Amino acid sequence: MESSWDNWVEEALSRLESLKLLRSLRPISLSREEVKPTEVESRNFVNFGEFETFDGLRSWDRSSVEVEIAEPTFQKWVNDVPSSGDEIINRDGVVDGHLGVSPQQFRKLLLFSGNDYLGLSSHPTIRKAAIHAAQEYGMGPRGSALICGYTNYHSILESCLSDLKKKEDCLLCPTGFAANMAVMVTIGSIGSLLSAGRKPLKDEKVAIFSDALNHASIIDGIRLAERHQEVEVFVYKHCDMSHLNALLTSCTMKKKVVVSDSLFSMDGDFAPLDKLAGLRRKHRFLLVIDDAHGTFVCGKNGGGVAEEYGCENDVDICIGTLSKAAGCHGGFVACSKKWKQLLQSRGRSFIFSTASPVPVVAAAHAAVIVAKNETWRRRAIWKRVQEFYALTGIPITSPIISLIVGSEEKALHASRHLLRAGFHVTAIRPPTVPPNSCRLRITLSAVHTIDDLKKLAAALSLCINFPDIDKNSITYSKL
């Protein structure tokens, strides 16, 4: 949709060009001729054709949901003793350099609190991609992307992600947090750029409308932009489109932006993207979506929540991460080429951060390919969602299950009970969530089995009364 935002971005870029502040990405090529993989290895890497994928669970997948903790760590957890994590114990029974603990004193736990939704962190193709890159190039050139840290590996991953998100281009960031910060600060800078360096008048500022339960990285980015008096902030009630419409209607500022998580990390509910798309057409605002928990999980191709809702063209900027369903690390912003140029010139968290190491980027690229092709993983995780509902009767809509129990004491008691039963599920407490809305945050994985879920449901039933679970999202402002 051609809009005033296209003109404002062009004008901002022209302003930066006149000030000689436009920054460029110039990838350093890591030549494929230097690499001599074996015939078997060559099937698995970015520069050598096909990636090896599989049609179902394999033995290595379980390592993404099965963990062990040392006995001293276990005891501190169950007794609610604060720990700095220094009770390091190895297999030889050494504690902080001293002998005396049996090497058998480890507890096996089933992980239900991670974000590796597809179980890709242990995938052999992804491992081999990282190993191959590390053996050939080490960590790669170390520096920010604008200096020497941006390579052909980074460029290839950006291209792959822009295709996934149906956008013109993509910008890699060191983390999803940094990606959100870069986007919010860049949006905020529009007002000052267009006011030619003087303090922007109110009508020249950017009006940002933010869901009350947006992620901390969005909130911190907005706060930073607000600190420089570049934006006016409006917080709308969680997923309340009537409230948002009223705020948009009453706002006289021209430059409007709506930002929302697509799948909310602590409540497990979806933003109504179809309704947001309708409001976008009505009010012609810039729509920014943080699809951290939806990317690779939702949509036929793993394109995310916007693909699932059929409104990819209505999302102007899509922020994502490679540290959750991709099982790797890093963040990205899928957008137009003009927005990318503006972001790489004004997004401070991108500009002043060291680029991701080449082995991490190579692994992430392999993960994108595997996630797209191993469609059974997406089918499996949504089957787990259905099975959990059937076992507990709790009406969940995503792999993120938020069991609100109220007080910190209740949440900690439930978490310790699950720990003794062999499950790694942490209690979520303030300041992550408001007082008296403490909860157990349970996450499902494609690697979990129906037997895993049955055991978890049985353990949960002994510490939580399922009908008492408060499924009403609490609307509050963290700004």
Q: Are residues 279 and 167 located together in one domain of the fold?
A: yes
**Structural domain includes residue 44:** no
Cβ proximity of 209 and 478 under 8 Å: no
Q: Are residues 73 and 132 located together in one domain of the fold?
A: no
pLDDT of residue 348: 95
Q: Are residues 206 and 264 located together in one domain of the fold?
A: yes
CATH number at residue 348: 3.40.640.10
Given 373, 402, 427, the domain boundary residue is 373
**Structural domain includes residue 164:** yes
**Nearest to 172, CA basis, from 24, 21, 343, 28:** 343
Is pTM, for the whole model, over 0.75? yes
CATH number at residue 403: 3.90.1150.10
Q: Are residues 348 and 392 located together in one domain of the fold?
A: no
The full DSSP string for 332-391 is: EEEE-HHHHHHHHHH-HHHHTSBPPPHHHHHHHHHHHHHHHH-HHHHHHHHHHHHHHHHH
Structure tokens at 407: 């007080």
**Structural domain includes residue 46:** no
Given 347, 373, 399, the domain boundary residue is 373
**Structural domain includes residue 336:** yes
Average pLDDT over the chain, rounded to whole? Answer: 89
Q: Are residues 354 and 403 located together in one domain of the fold?
A: no
User: How far out from the chain centre does Cα 343 lie?
Assistant: 19
**Structural domain includes residue 49:** no
Q: Are residues 359 and 454 located together in one domain of the fold?
A: no
pLDDT of residue 40: 36
Q: Checking DSSP bridges between strand 169-173 and strand 66-70, what pairing results, if any?
A: unpaired
Q: Are residues 73 and 147 located together in one domain of the fold?
A: no
Residues of the chain with pLDDT under 50: 1-2, 33-49, 97-99, 472-479
Given 320, 340, 373, the domain boundary residue is 373
pLDDT of residue 234: 98
Q: Are residues 96 and 183 located together in one domain of the fold?
A: no
Q: Are residues 92 and 149 located together in one domain of the fold?
A: no
The 8-class DSSP code of residue 28 comes to B
**Structural domain includes residue 477:** no
**Structural domain includes residue 473:** no
**Structural domain includes residue 209:** yes
Domains held by the chain: number: 2
Residue 364 domain boundaries: 4-29+124-373
pLDDT of residue 48: 34
pLDDT of residue 466: 80
Q: Are residues 457 and 337 located together in one domain of the fold?
A: no
Q: Are residues 354 and 421 located together in one domain of the fold?
A: no
